[in-house]
Amino acid sequence: MGVPMLKRTVLLVLLAFGAPPAFAEGVKGVILDEPSPIAPFTLVDQAGEPFTLEQLKGRWSLIFLGFTHCPDVCPFTLANLGAVRGELSQLVTPEKLPQIVFLAVDPDRDRAVLADYVAHFDLAFVGVTGDRRDIDGLTTSLDGYYSLKKRGEHDKAYDVVHSAAVAFVTPEGSIRAKITPPFQPYNTAAYLYRLMREADPD
């Protein structure tokens, strides 16, 4: 048995018996006592198709908010999430893999480049944006924040300050936990997998 398969087997045994695996130590996460429902919203994805609360139902999701002109936190976190999802693919079947959703909070600059931006990290990633009211509504549901730091009406090179936590959303559309980057992919996958198993032992 190769080393990666051995690690996976040990992890599955530990999680199956409810033992807190050492592999999940060091994950900066907060598990909510009760899942927090996300309020209805209407956004559009990178293909221009509607993206609503219904698109969060039926599977787990990891939602991160940011902006496409972000120089560091956003690209690092999206790449980091891709690595976590890769580790999770060793633990669950493809249909149970969480979808990665990037909420782009700067639609004036994000909308035109969103498809290329998320595809750079993974073709399976979903980028969503929309009207300010709906962006704000989902941001509030995620207990997140952002602020456009424009210096004037014609400023096109402004920064956006935003929260960095990633929401782990249940197939019912409620927040189960929040995790903060940077993520150690293997440990974070173990952490998320355990939450998924607790919610659905099958």
> Residues 185, 80: contact at Cβ < 8 Å?
yes
Please report the pLDDT score of residue 87 as a whole number. Answer: 97
Domain 3-151+159-199 has CATH 3.30.428.10: no
| pTM for this prediction | 0.87
- Residue among 118, 104, 162, 128 nearest 52 (CA): 128
Report the run of H or E that residue 110 belongs to, with start and end. Answer: helix 107-110
pLDDT number for residue 154: 78
Q: Which residues of 9-33 are buried (b: 16+ CB within 10 A; e: fewer)?
A: eebbebbeeeeebebbeebebeeee
Listed by start position, the domains of the chain span 3-151+159-199
The per-residue pLDDT for 111 is 96
Q: Rounded to the nearest 5 degrees, what angle is found at the Cα of 180, between the Cα atoms of 57 and 48?
A: 40
The owner of tokens 């700067």 is 106
Query: In one letter, which amino acid is 38?
Result: I
Question: How far, in Å, CA of 50 to CA of 131, rounded?
Answer: 12
Six-digit token pair at 137? 């509504």
Distances (CA, A) of 75 to 27, 31, 93, 104, 159: 20, 25, 26, 12, 15
Write phi, then psi, for 6 (nearest 5 degrees).
Answer: -65, -45
Average pLDDT for runs of 10 along the chain of length 202: 42 40 67 96 98 98 97 96 97 96 97 97 97 96 95 85 97 97 95 94 70
Q: Is 162 annotated as a binding residue?
A: yes
Residue closest to 105 by CA, chosen among 69, 76, 71? 69
